[in-house]
Amino acid sequence: MKILVINAGSSSLKYQLINTDEHRMLAKGLCERVGSKDSYIKHGADKDERIFAQYMADHEEALHVVFDALCHSERSTITSIDEIDAIGHRIVHGGNYFDSSALITPDVIQKIEELCTLAPLHNPPALKCIQVCQRMAPEMPQVAVFDTSFFQTLPPSAYMYPLPYELCQKHQIRKYGAHGTSHRYIAQRCAALMERPIEDLKIITCHLGNGCSISAIDHGIAVDTSMGFTPLDGLMMGTRCGAIDPAIIPFLEEREDLTPTQINDLMNKQSGLKGVSGISNDMRDVRKGAEEGNERAILAYEMYAHSIRKYLGQYFIEMAGADAIVLTAGVGENCDRMRRMVFAGLQPLGIILDQEKNRRDYHGKERFISRDDSPVKIIVIPTNEEFMIAQDTLEIVNAQAS
């Protein structure tokens, strides 16, 4: 089966066309800066990629550009949309409605719409993509794969907030988590690499990209995660502040005369690495700034590592130890200096980084970076949310057909 996977971000759209029979990626790409004058599409993989400047006013135009690249470009792998059998969408927030992936129906669309306020950067563009795909291929089955589903197993002690109970019930305020598809994938790969059943393992998974989250996966079950009611909570991120003293919010609203929308924007888009360093939300720029001695870049870099260590410590205690710590996404996979800072001095806990293995650059490869005698294994595993989304889509479409 040929499955198109769509992963819509606030200003980006990632896609992959996957042949699930052969477990083969046929095409992939990324539209960046959707909505701005300098938008472009990167179509193809690694050295074979091509970048085209292309104005895309919104996600609808971006999807047309994607279909065009898939069907008509120099690197096209199909000649018409009709060759695609199904479409799988990444949806960040599924609230309490979804503990697994779902075939998209009018009812599912209505629920995703209802949840837009809880993932304002992610759910609205994803919804738009579903609607455009439905218009372009009305008969094609479409599946929603939710970032939050994986965390529906959290116990109430982990997902409840200590606010008045009735208010939490009334507004369904609880920890939902995010990046679940990525955490699920790397936990499964971790077990395969360790050649042990996932049911025997305690794993801490770290997704460190532009958005960042860490999860505790105890014997295959997600028991805690750093993102909360929305993807703003937890770790310091590229532009998001993560967990802060909540009293800062009314304080700033009053002192700076900010509306709730403005403060939300400030915490989501102007904070994190970008807000602290004053340079960029991109770790590569911050690291360069730090290497050049920029004090705010050094501070941002150190705060980022500190934030990761806090959650590692929390989940290590929550699970009474860990068999493995897995790192993924842009920073987790590529930033050896950040990994060195995160794991510095943890030998007494049985977490021993192998400096040489950590430094070696095996871009895109799964690898152990702990010392052979380290009781806790440290593993880098490139995430593959698209592969998981294609797999779930395949299962759901097959179940419908039978």
Ligand X SMILES: Nc1ncnc2c1ncn2[C@@H]1O[C@H](COP(=O)(O)OP(=O)(O)O)[C@@H](O)[C@H]1O
Known binding residues for ATP: 14, 207-211, 282-284, 330-334
Looking at beta carbons only, is 383 or 393 nearer to Mg ion?
A: 383
* Contacting residue, 6, 13, 178, 376, with ligand UVW by CB under 6 A: 178
What's the N-to-C CA distance of the chain in angstroms? 15
329 is a site residue for ligand X (CB under 6 A): yes
What residue 231 binds from Mg ion, ligand X, ligand UVW, none (CB within 5 to 8 A, per partner kind)? ligand UVW
* Contacting residue, 282, 318, 366, 395, with ligand X by CB under 6 A: 282
Smallest separation, CB 371 to ligand UVW (Å) = 30
Cα–Cα distance, 239 to 399 (Å, whole number): 40
Smallest separation, CB 344 to ligand UVW (Å) = 26
Cα–Cα distance, 303 to 299 (Å, whole number): 6
* Contacting residue, 44, 141, 220, 330, with ligand X by CB under 6 A: 330
Judged by phi (left if over 0) then psi (alpha if -120 to 50, else beta), residue 343 lies in alpha
Residues contacting residue 258 through CB under 8 Å, at least 6 positions apart = 252, 266
The amino acid at 2: K
Looking at beta carbons only, is 62 or 346 nearer to Mg ion?
A: 62
Smallest separation, CB 109 to ligand UVW (Å) = 20
Instruction: Using alpha carbons, select from 216, 214, 243 the residue that is nearest to residue 317.
Output: 216
Instruction: Using alpha carbons, select from 308, 324, 361 the residue that is nearest to residue 190.
Output: 324
**Does residue 278 sit in helix, strand or coil?**
coil
Residues contacting residue 186 through CB under 8 Å, at least 6 positions apart = 205, 207, 326, 328, 381, 383
Residue 66: enclosing H or E segment and its boundaries? helix 59-72
Looking at beta carbons only, is 10 or 131 nearer to ligand UVW?
A: 10
* Residue ranges in 207-226 that form contacts with Mg ion under rule CB under 5 A: 209
Residue 323: active-site member: no
Binding segment toward ligand X, per CB under 6 A, in 79-87, 88-96, 117-125, 331-339: 331-339
Burial class (CB in 10 A: 0-12, 13-18, 19+), 372: exposed
* Contacting residue, 174, 179, 183, 377, with ligand UVW by CB under 6 A: 179
Summarize as ranges the residues that interact with ligand X (CB under 6 A). 209-211, 238, 282-284, 287, 329-331, 334-335
Summarize as ranges the residues that interact with Mg ion (CB under 5 A). 209
Q: Catalytic residues, which ones?
A: 147
Summarize as ranges the residues that interact with ligand UVW (CB under 6 A). 9, 92, 122, 147, 178-179, 209-211, 231
